[in-house]
Amino acid sequence: MTGPLLFKDIDTPGLAGLDTYRRVGGYATVLAVLGRQTPDQCIEIVKASGLRGRGGAGFPTGLKWSFVPKGTERPKYLVCNADESEPGTFKDRELIEKNPHSLIEGMILAGWAIQSNAGYVYLRGEFGWLQKILDQAIAEAYAAGLLGRDVAGTGFRFDLHTHLGAGAYICGEETALLSSLEGYRGQPRLKPPFPAVEGLYRCPTIVNNVETLVNIPHILGQGAAWYRQWGTEKSAGTKVFSVSGPVKRPGNYELPLGVPLRVLLEEHCGGMRDGLKLKAVIPGGSSVPPLPASLLDTPLDFESMNAVGTFLGSGGVIVIDEQTCMVDSLWNLMRFYAHESCGKCTPCREGTYWMTGILERLERGQGRASDIDLLADLADNILGRSFCPLGDAAAMPVQGFLKHFRAEFEHHVGQRCLANRRRDSRMGVPA
Amino acid sequence: MSGAPAPHTAPAGPVGPVAWPSALQPKVAEALSHYPNRRSAVLPLLWIAQREWGWLPPEVLRLVARTVELPDAEVFGVATFYTMFNLKPVGKYHLQVCMTLSCSLMGADRLFQHLSGRLGIGHGETTPDGRFTLRRVECLAACGGGPCLQVNEEKFHENLDEAAVDRLLERLP
Ligand SMILES: Cc1cc2nc3c(=O)[nH]c(=O)nc-3n(C[C@H](O)[C@H](O)[C@H](O)COP(=O)(O)O)c2cc1C
Ligand code: SF4
């Protein structure tokens, strides 16, 4: 699969190796920028590019970098978030697997911009095999003098290590990630202070997603105006969309931000498979509200998604067909959140558990009419009252499912679900 | 399922203090060298230990605690927080089947049921010969290739159906 920027060369054989990466122009930006452009100039270019974080929240990257205090004696850290645990999202994995050096190059440049001499890549525990690929590329970069005490002969020191998690969705949340990296249980910390001021080892720390960082060599190499040829005014550049569910060609697609959802699904993914009809799309990873088929023409950018009551999120696009039950789908997701709640605060720990129970009894035809309002009430009480955004992430889909598909929930009251393509196969769960 | 599976009699794990085998000592030292303090090496050391011993019996957790110079309870607390540390023995092949929505939409539930029937074990159980442990897990980041599973720490197996998973099991040495 190709794309205009991050996926341009992604299927070049041998790209994971340093020589091939260099042949397609890799590390040219490091040579052009380090020692030639000041860190402040780099931050200004990234600000002007309009790049926003690709990890889900969409925070402007250059602005975040500018929060790192200047002239402090304390070390500064750069941490790449490769936890990639948001259901529906599988892009960072392909970026690292096929093009690990682009992440290393992006981190060297980001390190220069914030004047950090040490970086870590936090990989989710299930990525042990991917860690080997990245470690190999890091070793190559050290051997070539691109990492270490004198990066490319510029006198800039940058050390980079990988760190493997061990199975916990919450470690994708940046403060939980830092707890985990410091050797604690992976539980979130209060913000503020924000990591840019007080993060890893209580030192200024920038946490960025993999996809955010692999954009950096392109932006610093070619300039902000060039980067803005893709995307919209407020959502600049391209985005990797991970498409899953019963479409003909699921996978990762790098497209300019602002592309309509319908174009992604019909032109790029070839539409639905097996003659199925599309019922709903969760556009930004499991934590965002779903959209009904009637909103398929909405452009995929931060603002347009907000305008229809959902989020661009991580770009994990989950497609649900007409023969799939929405109550069952939400129950599946709620089991995920109940399982992954770290247990630190009551609304999320107890709320996800209760919502799972309600959804289970609705799906089994044992629900009461009042259960639907109870579900909505629970979601309202979790939202904004949890210690970290995982609670919100569990509540928002509930609100969206009820907003667009309430009739299906009402239909389930006292009636066992009949219209579920997956029913015969839903055996992993005790019947 | 007909009858409960026979309990898996696993190696009891070391009794009494254990030490890092000398072959592992460079790895341990390297892990410690990556961080400005010892505590940060807890996860890497737990991984090194789990790869060596297959699981993390209490004596091994205590070894990690001694190595990072923390109270045992701190390391027990960390090890129990994460799902991938085996605090009980697992089979030679740990089959971890993703059950989250994208995989479920593509038939993960049927796949799990098939595996469970074929191996005669349920979630979290191990075959009597100690060859397989079966486990339902949450999203693995392979959603476009669902249904999928991970064997031990290897790269995911994707786009599976019953026939494909049968072939996979037969290929395992
Ligand atoms: C529950 C939860 C899970 C998250 N998981 C991830 C993740 O897997 N990967 C990621 O990059 N960001 C994740 N985030 C967002 C991070 O907290 C953080 O915003 C992001 O890494 C910042 O990088 P960016 O500005 O480059 O997007 C998660 C947030 C929450 C609340
Ligand atoms: S919202 Fe959930 S995950 Fe976040 S701190 Fe509270 S219990 Fe933990």
Are A213 and A266 part of one and the same domain?
A: no
Q: Please state the rounded mean pLDDT for residues A297-304.
A: 98
pLDDT band at A423 (very low <50, low <70, confident <90, very high): very low
Q: What pLDDT is attached to residue A408?
A: 94
Intervals of chain B under pLDDT 50: 1-7
In chain A, pLDDT over 90 holds for what percent of residues? 94
> For B71-99, b where at least 16 C-beta lie within 10 A, e where not — what string?
eeebbbebbebbbbbbeebbbbbbbbbbb
Q: Is the pLDDT of residue A13 over 80?
A: yes
Which phi and psi (to 5°) does residue A324 adopt? Answer: -105, 135
* B47 within a domain of the structure (yes/no): yes
Report CB contact under 8 Å: B110, A320: no
Q: Tell me what pLDDT residue A420 has.
A: 66
Judgement on whether residues A205 and A260 belong to the same structural domain of the protein = no
pLDDT for the residue B13: 62
Cα A335 to ligand 2 centroid, rounded to whole Å: 15
- Nearest chain A residue to B37 by CA: give it: A182
Chain B residues with CB under 8 Å of A252 CB are: 144
In a domain, A52, yes or no: yes
pTM of the model: 0.96
Structural domains of chain B, count: 2
pLDDT digits (tens, 9 = 90+) for A181-215: 999 999 999 999 999 999 999 999 999 999 999 99
Q: What is the mean pLDDT of chain A?
A: 95
Q: Are residues A216 and A245 in the same domain?
A: no
Q: What is the pLDDT of residue A32?
A: 97
Task: Provide, rounded to the nearest whole percent, the portion of chain B with pLDDT above 90.
Answer: 90
Pocket of ligand 1, beta carbon within 6 A: A 53-57, 59, 81, 83-86, 170, 172-174, 207-209, 212, 388-390, 393
What percentage of residues in chain A have a pLDDT greater than 70? Answer: 97
Ligand 1, atom nearest to A83 Cα: 8
User: How many structural domains are present in chain A?
Assistant: 3
Give the residue from A84, A90, A342 with the most B CB atoms within 10 Å of its CB, the best one to mutate: A90
For residue B91, give both structure tokens: 């089979």
**Angle (nearest 5°) at CA A378 between A430 and A368:** 55
pLDDT digits (tens, 9 = 90+) for A340-381: 999 999 999 999 999 999 999 999 999 999 999 999 999 999
Cβ of residue B138 closer than 8 Å to a chain A Cβ: yes
Across residues A162-191, what is the average pLDDT?
98
Q: Once rounded to an integer, what is the mean pLDDT over residues A210-230?
A: 98
Pairing label, strands A77-82, A118-123: parallel
Pair (B66, B103) in one structural domain: no
Predicted local confidence at residue A431, as pLDDT: 33
Question: B128 and B65: one domain?
Answer: no
* pLDDT score, position B11: 55
Q: Give the model's pLDDT for residue B1.
A: 37
Asked whether residue A1 is assigned to any structural domain, the reply reads: no
In the listed set A251, A286, A321, which residue is the last one of a domain according to the structure? A321
Give the structural domain span for B143. 93-171
- Kindly give the number of the ligand 1 atom that is closest to the alpha carbon of A170: 1
Of A75, A181, A339, the CB nearest to B138: A339
Q: Which of A93, A320, A424 sits opposite B105 (nearest CB)?
A: A320
Q: Based on the domain organization, do A360 and A307 belong to the same domain? A: no
Q: Of residues A254 and A427, which shows the higher confidence score?
A: A254
Q: Which domain holds residue A140?
A: 18-227
Pick the closest to residue A272 from A308, A256, A296, A301 (CA basis): A296
Q: DSSP states of A395-415 as a string?
A: HHHHHHHHHHHHHHHHHHTTS
Round to whole Å and give the CA distance between A161 and A309: 39
d(CA A49, CA A57): 17
Q: Give residue A430's pLDDT.
A: 36
CATH number at residue B31: 1.10.10.1590
Same domain, A251 and A204: no
What are A35-50's pLDDT values in tens digits?
999 999 999 999 999 9
Pocket test residue of A341, A355, A356 for ligand 2, highest count of atoms within 8 A of CB: A341
**pLDDT for A264-281, tens place per residue?**
999 999 999 999 999 999
Q: Which atom of ligand 1 is nearest to the CA of A169?
A: 3
* pLDDT at residue A202, as a whole number: 97
Q: Ligand 2 test: best mutation among A339, A390, A396, most atoms within 8 Å of CB? A: A390
Question: In Å, what is the CA distance from A371 to each residue of A334, A375, A406, B116?
Answer: 15, 6, 12, 33
Residues of B in contact with A333 (CB under 8 A): 100-101
Q: Is a pLDDT exceeding 90 seen at residue A416? A: no
B86 within a domain of the structure (yes/no): no
Using the beta-carbon criterion (under 8 Å), do A128 and B153 form an inter-chain contact? yes
**Rounded-to-10 torsion of CA A199, A205, A209, A210:** -130
Note whether residue A232 is domain-resident. no
B44–A contact, CB cutoff 8 A? yes
Q: What is the mean pLDDT of residues A380-403?
A: 97
pLDDT confidence of A424, banded at 50, 70, 90? very low
